[in-house]
Chain A
Amino acid sequence: MKNLFRIDVLHPAGLAAVACTALLTLAGCASTPPHSDAHMAVAQAAVEHANTPGTSQDAPMELQLATSKLVAARTALADKNYERADQLAEEVQIDAKVAELHAQSARSRRAAQESQAAAAALRDEISRNTTR
């Protein structure tokens, strides 16, 4: 009875533990490693963050590279090529950042030109006013 009780209590638990360990081990091999999922999520977030009208306009090629690389990363993940998936996910992040910065520097350059043009216009106006 005592034995039985013990078996009744311990056995399912022990069984479950064994099953869990086996499952986890299997999962480790068979399903996505958690850090790959995380990398993928970060990569996707980076692409979504970069995907603005401004970036689409000023850095379409860079944005396209990040987007297509995200697809490649997902494919690598689906192919269980986790190392490649992680690398691609990391590259997606830097590509998305490059796209954003490229668009930002283009905008800044235009703003600088406009600002200089405005200063020049004001200078002209003032010199006209003072000579008048």
Chain B
Amino acid sequence: MNTRLLTLITLTAALGACSSMPERNSDLDRAQGRLRSAQNDAQVAQLAPDELKQASDTLVMAEKAWSDNEPKSKVDHLAYMGAQRVVVAQESASSRASQAVIAGAAAERDRMRLQQRTAEADRARQQLASAEQSNANKTAALAQADAATLREQARADSSDARANALAQQLQELNAKKTERGYVVTLQDVLFDTGQARLMPESAGFLARLADAFKRNASLTAAIEGYTDSVGGSNANYELSDRRANAVKTALMSLGVRDEQLTVRGFGENNPVASNDTVDGRQMNRRVEIVFGSQSGLVLAK
């Protein structure tokens, strides 16, 4: 009776095992859950795909063992192996992620050091450049100052030289230093009697005079005509004016520029001698060429 019952129970259990699906293995279910969460972890999926594949393959074997009704111990073992392989995948991924962080941090340090050194080098270069620029500026300023001094000196020298040369030329023309400046006088004998026409004897003198004007472009002069007191005042003005203009015309025909010369007749004014004597009257009949102070000529005080 007992034996028969036991046999029946065993038979029923065996039939049940065959006909219905076996009970789910809880270890296998847990292992599958861990695999899924690892597969859903982007870090594990990306950094440990091979390890994840091995875990997955192991759990496929476990599922097959379970559905083939292999012994629970074998299913448990395969489930355990699969679960541990999931851990292997997770730990491998974690290590690799950390290594990536280390590499990234090292690269960042290198980059920062490089930037620092570059910045330092740039600063040094800028300082050097600005120092050089400053030196160059100082040197240029000094050179400019020197050049300006030299130019000033040269200008002064040439100005002096010109003035000296002019003074020399005027001396040769028998110019006299007066308080109005240098004055050159053309005497009456160089004109036709009572006329404004210049005598041929005046040619050499006028040529030297014209030469002085041409050598000194800034030299200006007032050409002033004078007469003695004989004759009418108006006629004297007119004659003195014509004689002065005749000198200007002669000088311009020799190349002197118009703007260097002004002309004025003073008639019997400003006599240089007495009109009471023949000699005095002759000295008063004259044309004076008065050199202006614009010429740069050093005037006698």
Binding site for B on A (CB under 8 A): 83-84, 87, 90-91, 94-95, 97-98, 101-102, 104-105, 108-109, 111-112, 115-116, 118-119, 122-123, 126, 129-130
Contacts and interface: CB of A to CB of B under 8 A. Distances in A.
Contacts of A119: 105-106, 108-109, 112
B88 A91 contact: no
Contact of B94 (A87, A91, A109): A109
A97 B116 contact: no
Q: What secondary structure prevails in chain B residues at the interface with A?
A: helix
Contacts of B13: none
B70 to A, nearest CB: 11
B77 interface: yes
Interface stretch (B79-87, B157-165, B268-276): B79-87
A108 B81 contact: no
A115 B101 contact: yes
Contacts of A116: 101, 105
Interface of B: 73-74, 77, 80-81, 84-85, 87-88, 91-92, 94-95, 97-99, 101-102, 105-106, 108-109, 112-113, 115-116, 119
Given A87-B77, A105-B98, 18 more contacts: A83-B73, A94-B85, A94-B88, A97-B88, A98-B88, A98-B91, A101-B91, A104-B95, A105-B92, A108-B94, A109-B98, A111-B102, A115-B105, A116-B105, A118-B105, A122-B109, A126-B112, A126-B115
Contacts of A90: 77, 81
B84 A108 contact: no
Contacts of B95: 101, 104-105, 108
B192 to A, nearest CB: 97
A112 B84 contact: no
A91 B108 contact: no
A84 B99 CA distance: 38
A47 to B, nearest CB: 14
A91 B92 contact: no
Contacts of B85: 94
Contacts of A94: 81, 84-85, 88
Contacts of B115: 126
B102 A98 contact: no
A98 B106 contact: no
Given A98-B84, A122-B112, A104 B91 contact: yes
Given A108-B95, A115-B105, A91 B116 contact: no
Contacts of A123: 112
10 contacts: A91-B81, A101-B87, A105-B95, A108-B94, A108-B98, A112-B101, A115-B106, A118-B105, A119-B105, A119-B109
A115 B85 CA distance: 29
Contacts of A102: 87, 91
B102 A115 contact: yes
A115 to B, nearest CB: 4
A129 B123 CA distance: 13
Given A98-B88, A105-B95, A115-B102, A84 B73 contact: yes
A129 B120 CA distance: 10
Contacts of A129: 116
A86 B151 CA distance: 109
A101 B102 contact: no
Contacts of B81: 90-91, 94
Contacts of A109: 94, 98
A115 B101 CA distance: 8
